[in-house]
């Protein structure tokens, strides 16, 4: 074999072309082999692949290649989550069309991904912004509507009064519109909803079966679904009405010192006073996110109405409060400032009593509060018949008594809301409905799908271009034939990512997917992505899958059998004195200080944090692939850190990986098919490595697999030429192939193997070689090591004693002394006492 250097610049594209020509990674839905569906969360086509993508897709790729080698028919697809706001922002800022911008980005990023040599079935590539995808989504939406899982209702949105547009929560910054800077108002608009709450119980229960999901993700989902057991009961009001409230802490009822309702609550709306109306208007300003409501200053308005306490008979003041949400529970609360922080802040501000009703022990009933509410558990105090009871018992007692009074009942309440999917923007899936003056809201006929987006739109004026378009929304009513108007809302892009894994598995042209083909591939065997999608994306995907199963389109309920959330790639940051950031290639080390290369200006080195454009602590995948080749980059992504942890990028690290690629190549170059002789120890190490690397990849312990390959490489380098050594080299090529596929193909060909290593089966393990069958025994006399013996593993005490006494060195040490006792520790040690 030649002793040329391995040249990624020529090898990488050559093997990528070879895989493509042979359609090596094309998934066959009719294959009889066991299936394996490996999926990484598909990227948003922002413009460039970033290093986080590289890490994510490299992990999936190693698993996919390994699964192929172990006899699986592997589905490993890739596509684009291509709708969404950045394309519209680009349209507004740069005057480009969102479609053109998106498709250019896809083309560029696809080329970048191809340079990494991923084992993807590109024949199944899809982009959610193409009618061939979103048209099927429209059909599914209509199916869900028919099944009663889609409805329209009035709901609040963030309204920018200057730009005259609805804003997404993330476009509201400090209560102001991100473009206009105008204070955002809350407005009611009729919007489309998906009935995810119908599945709340099932989504919660299903978590119990997801053994291969991270616990933290399951916990986040559980909290988001938020099942709580509480009490709904009614206060009698001084105006003769009753006011239902919901509480999860009925035990604290003796600590209620006021009652509060949401600004939208009928009790508030019915007030006939200018001051009340002004206060309600004030509450409407500011964002609608829970986080904003949580942190906003607590504001209240005393309605003058009082509520009668069901046990003490005290008259409690009724306030309108800005922290009470209309769409949770009943939109009204009994406020217990001693034990709820929001109520505490409110009571402090408006000088209301803060009684203690829970304390660590009964003798601490008079303990003062330390500037905040105490949510802690304990025993009830200052609570009449509840005094001394534990919290759970007290809860039960109050529920029983309130139910006996006929004033309310114990109730299960869910935090999960129905999913509002309406977005008043252009770059999304048009919602397939038609508004008719006569017939109302009518579903678009299925044969009119796909309802495609108009191309001729402008983004110079704010607002939704679909609404402004002169002709797009004009249609005939499918029912009465009269003039009607298309729905101009588009779907939340989370809808697009809620079923893409189904379309990857099956893509007939006339329907969203084929039921049998879905049954063949689903569930996804291994899903890999960022923990930032732990809640919404995964919950919505689990919901769509269940909803489609309920209406009989598929037979699987839980889409992702295993989930892995990978850590981030991090890098230190560099800042000038004025706080501005510099990129790693703008700085260098000067002695123990850092300076800007350009002018020697001093640079502060900051913390190691997630790579992000705004902090400039990024490395560009293209640049490093140019420099080191795809395999060194892939190897680095897998090496240093366990995959769930953050991976600090370092120049030294990638250099080391690159050196290892070439070191392996030199070793492969030393392959001698003619070498003779057996090296039992090396055979054993080789087979142990095969088994271990397989285990490590199966459990996604990529860094461990990497370490084993380093170990075996070291052992082969030290070994003398032999048939065993040649076999070890061949094995190393195969073990490294999932991680460094280009180098492995090049080596496989160079050492004269048939076909491509990508098609070679995973090397077989000889189980006999996995057990260490010989052990080294230390023989001691007078506390000193006299000899070491090689003995069969598990040899008897008698046999070891006999071997030890037969040793010449031992006999010399004994020098004729009488042996009093021999202590044998099997497989370890023989100690001779004289």
- Helix (H) or strand (E) run with residue 112 in it: helix 98-114
Stretch that binds Zn ion, among 362-370, 432-440, 729-737, 774-782 (CB under 5 A): 432-440
Give the residue with the Cβ less far from ligand ANZ, 50 or 249.
249
- Residue 479: strand, helix, or coil: coil
Q: Under the criterion CB under 5 A, does residue 434 sit at the interface with Zn ion?
A: no
- Among 439, 475, 551, 778, which residue interacts with Zn ion (rule: CB under 5 A)? 439
Nearer to ligand ANZ, 395 or 533 (CB): 395
Question: Minimal distance in Å, beta carbon 137 to Zn ion?
Answer: 25
CB distance 544 to 491 below 8 Å: no
Cα gap 176→172, rounded to integer Å? 5
Q: Which of 46, 89, 479, 562 lies at the binding interface for Zn ion (CB under 5 A)? A: 479
Residue 681 in the binding site for Zn ion (CB under 5 A): no
Residue 5 near which of ligand ANZ, Zn ion, none (CB within 5-8 Å, type-dependent): none
Rank residues 248 and 575 by Cβ distance to ligand ANZ and give the closer one: 248
Which tokens is 451 given? 């309802």
Enumerate residues 6+ apart whose C-beta is below 8 A from 554.
Answer: 502, 513, 515, 518, 519, 522, 545, 548
Choose the one of Zn ion, ligand ANZ, none that binds residue 340, judging by a C-beta under 5 to 8 angstroms depending on kind: ligand ANZ
Query: What distance, in Å, lies between the first and last C-alpha atoms of the chain?
Result: 61
Collapsing DSSP to helix, strand or coil, 310 comes out as coil
Instruction: Calculate the dihedral angle through the C-alpha atoms of 359, 363, 369, 373, rounding to the nearest 10 degrees.
Output: 10
Is residue 578 helix, strand or coil? coil
Binding flag, residue 438, Zn ion (CB under 5 A)? yes
CB under 5 to 8 A by kind: which of Zn ion, ligand ANZ, none does 438 bind? Answer: Zn ion
Interacting partner of 333 out of Zn ion, ligand ANZ, none (Cβ under 5 to 8 A depending on kind): ligand ANZ
**List of residues 6+ apart from 764 with CB closer than 8 A:** 690
Indicate which of ligand ANZ, Zn ion, none lies near residue 439 (CB less than 5 to 8 Å, by partner kind).
Zn ion
Give the Cα separation of 705 and 638 in Å (integer). 9
Residue from 233, 225, 234, 229 nearest 248 by CA: 229
Nearer to ligand ANZ, 334 or 416 (CB): 334
| 186-194, 218-226, 469-477, 671-679 -> range binding Zn ion (CB under 5 A) | 469-477
Which residue of the chain is nearest ligand ANZ when measured via CB?
339
Residue closer to ligand ANZ, measured from CB, 228 or 273: 228
Q: Counting contacts by CB under 5 A, is residue 789 touching Zn ion?
A: no
Question: Which residue number, 246 or 762, has a Cβ lying nearer to ligand ANZ?
Answer: 246
Cβ atoms of 830 and 822 closer than 8 Å: yes
How far does Cα 60 stand from its chain's mean position?
14
Give the dihedral sign, CA 535/536/538/539: positive
256 in Cβ contact with 245 (< 8 Å): no
Q: Which is nearer to ligand ANZ, 342 or 634 (CB)?
A: 342
Contact set with ligand ANZ (CB under 6 A): 228, 246-249, 252, 323-325, 328-329, 331, 333-334, 336, 339-340, 415
With CB under 5 A as the rule, give the number of residues binding Zn ion: 6
562: which strand partners? 212
- Minimum CB distance to ligand ANZ, residue 237 (Å): 17
Q: How far from 449 is each of 132, 133, 430, 775, CA to CA, in Å?
A: 10, 11, 10, 73
Q: Could you tell me which stretch among 26-34, 129-137, 471-479, 804-812 binds Zn ion (CB under 5 A)?
A: 471-479
Residue of 100, 117, 129 lying closest to 42 (CA atoms) = 129
Q: Could you tell me which stretch among 127-135, 178-186, 476-484, 725-733 binds Zn ion (CB under 5 A)?
A: 476-484
CB 292 within 8 Å of CB 170? no
C-beta of 432: minimal distance to Zn ion in Å?
16
Q: Give residue 164's region: left, alpha or beta (phi > 0; psi -120 to 50).
A: left
Tokens of 779: 């023989």
Candidates 152-160, 293-301, 438-446, 773-781; binding stretch for Zn ion (CB under 5 A): 438-446
Which one of Zn ion, ligand ANZ, none is in contact with 477 (Cβ closer than 5 to 8 A by kind)? Zn ion
In the complex, minimum distance from the CB of residue 437 to Zn ion, in angstroms, rounded to a whole number: 7
Which one of 391, 477, 561, 587 is in contact with Zn ion (CB under 5 A)? Answer: 477
Contact 167, 184 (CB under 8 A): yes
480 binds Zn ion (CB under 5 A): yes
In the complex, minimum distance from the CB of residue 339 to ligand ANZ, in angstroms, rounded to a whole number = 3
Shortest reach from residue 383's CB to ligand ANZ, in Å: 12
Structure tokens at 196: 């995810």
* Closer to ligand ANZ by Cβ: residue 25 or 346: 346
* 483 versus 597: smaller Cβ distance to Zn ion: 483
What is the maximum alpha-carbon separation in the chain? Answer: 119
Q: Cα–Cα distance between 105 and 736 in angstroms, integer? A: 32
Please report whether residue 436 would count as binding Zn ion according to CB under 5 A: yes
Measured between alpha carbons, how far is residue 381 from residues 252, 335, 392, 801 in Å? 9, 17, 14, 75
Q: How far is the CB of 505 from ligand ANZ (least distance, A)?
A: 38
Given the complex with ligand ANZ, which of 171 and 247 has the nearer CB atom?
247
Q: Which does 436 bind (CB under 5 to 8 A by kind): Zn ion, ligand ANZ, none?
A: Zn ion
Question: Which helix (H) or strand (E) segment is 167 a member of?
Answer: strand 165-167
Residues found near Zn ion in the complex (CB under 5 A): 436, 438-439, 477, 479-480
């Amino acid at each position: 074999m030649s002793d040329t250097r391995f040249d990624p610049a020529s090898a990488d594209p050559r093997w990528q072309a070879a895989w493509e020509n042979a359609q090596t990674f094309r998934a066959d839905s009719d294959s009889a082999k066991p299936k394996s569906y490996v999926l990484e969360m598909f990227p948003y086509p922002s413009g460039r692949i970033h290093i986080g993508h590289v890490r994510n897709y490299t992990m999936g790729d190693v698993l996919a290649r390994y699964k192929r080698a172990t006899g699986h028919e592997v589905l490993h697809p890739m596509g684009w989550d291509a709708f969404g706001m950045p394309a519209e922002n680009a349209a507004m800022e740069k005057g480009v069309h969102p479609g053109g911008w998106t498709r250019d980005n896809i083309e560029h990023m696809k080329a970048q991904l191809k340079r990494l040599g991923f084992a993807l079935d590109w024949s199944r590539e899809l982009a959610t912004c193409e009618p061939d995808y979103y048209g099927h989504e429209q059909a599914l939406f209509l199916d869900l509507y028919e099944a009663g899982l889609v409805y329209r209702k009035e709901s609040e949105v963030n309204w920018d009064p200057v730009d005259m547009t609805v804003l997404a929560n993330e476009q509201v910054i400090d209560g102001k519109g991100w473009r206009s800077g105008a204070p955002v108002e809350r407005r009611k608009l009729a919007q489309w909803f998906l009935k995810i709450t119908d599945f709340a119980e099932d989504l919660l229960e299903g978590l119990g079966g997801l053994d291969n999901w991270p616990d933290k993700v399951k916990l986040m989902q559980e909290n988001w679904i938020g099942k709580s057991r509480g009490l709904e009961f009614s206060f009698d009001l001084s105006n003769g009405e009753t006011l239902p409230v919901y509480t999860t802490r009925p035990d604290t009822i003796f600590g209620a010192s006021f009652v509060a309702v949401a600004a939208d609550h009928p009790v508030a709306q019915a007030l006939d006073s200018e001051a009340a109306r002004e206060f309600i208007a004030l509450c409407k300003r500011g964002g609608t996110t829970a986080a904003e409501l949580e942190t906003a200053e607590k504001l209240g308005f005393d309605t003058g109405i009082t509520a009668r306490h069901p046990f003490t008979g005290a008259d409690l003041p009724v306030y309108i409060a800005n922290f009470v949400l209309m769409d949770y529970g009943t939109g009204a609360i009994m406020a217990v400032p001693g034990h709820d922080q929001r109520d505490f802040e409110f009571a402090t501000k408006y000088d209301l009593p803060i009684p203690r009703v829970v304390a660590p022990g009964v003798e601490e009933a008079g303990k003062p509060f330390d500037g905040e509410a105490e949510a802690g558990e304990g025993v009830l105090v200052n609570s009449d018949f509840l005094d001394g009871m534990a919290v759970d018992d007290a809860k039960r007692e109050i529920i029983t008594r309130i139910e006996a009074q006929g004033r309310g009942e114990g109730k299960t309440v869910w935090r999960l809301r129905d999913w509002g999917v309406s977005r008043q923007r252009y770059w999304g899936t048009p919602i397939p409905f038609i508004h008719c003056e006569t017939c109302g809201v009518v579903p678009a006929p299925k044969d009119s799908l796909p309802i495609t987006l108009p191309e001729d739109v402008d983004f110079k004026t704010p607002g939704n271009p679909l609404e402004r378009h002169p002709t797009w929304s004009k249609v005939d009513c499918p029912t009465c034939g009269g003039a009607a108007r298309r729905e101009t809302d588009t779907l939340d892009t989370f809808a697009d990512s809620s079923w893409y894994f189904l379309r990857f598995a099956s893509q007939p042209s006339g329907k969203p997917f084929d039921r049998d083909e879905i049954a063949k591939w689903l569930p996804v065997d291994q899903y890999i992505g960022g923990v930032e999608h732990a809640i919404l994306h995964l919950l919505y995907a689990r919901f769509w899958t269940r909803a489609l199963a309920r209406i009989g389109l598929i037979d699987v309920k839980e889409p992702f059998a295993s989930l892995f959330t990978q850590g981030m790639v991090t890098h230190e940051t560099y800042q000038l004195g004025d706080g501005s950031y510099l990129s790693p290639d703008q700085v260098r080390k000067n002695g123990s200080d850092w300076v800007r290369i350009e002018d020697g200006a001093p640079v502060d080195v900051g913390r190691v944090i997630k790579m992000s454009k705004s902090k400039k602590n990024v490395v560009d995948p293209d640049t490093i692939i140019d420099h080191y080749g795809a395999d060194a980059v892939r190897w680095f992504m897998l090496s240093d850190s366990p995959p769930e942890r953050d991976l600090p990028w370092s120049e030294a690290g990638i250099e080391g990986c690159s050196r290892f690629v070439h070191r392996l190549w030199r070793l492969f170059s030393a392959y001698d098919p003619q070498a003779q002789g057996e090296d039992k120890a090396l055979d054993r190490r080789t087979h142990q490595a095969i088994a271990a690397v397989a285990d490590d990849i199966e459990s996604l312990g990529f860094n461990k697999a990497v370490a084993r390959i380093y170990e075996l490489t070291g052992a082969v380098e030290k070994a003398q030429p032999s048939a065993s050594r040649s076999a070890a080299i061949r094995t190393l090529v195969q073990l490294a192939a999932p991680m460094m596929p280009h180098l492995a193909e090049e080596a496989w060909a160079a050492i004269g193997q048939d076909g491509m290593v990508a098609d070679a089966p995973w090397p077989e393990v000889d189980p006999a070689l996995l057990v260490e069958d010989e052990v080294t025994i230390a023989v001691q006399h007078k506390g000193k090591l006299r000899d070491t013996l090689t003995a069969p593993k598990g040899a008897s005490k008698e046999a070891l004693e006999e071997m030890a006494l037969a040793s010449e060195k031992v006999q010399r040490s004994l020098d004729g002394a009488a042996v009093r006792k021999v202590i044998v520790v099997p497989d370890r040690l023989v100690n001779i006492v004289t």
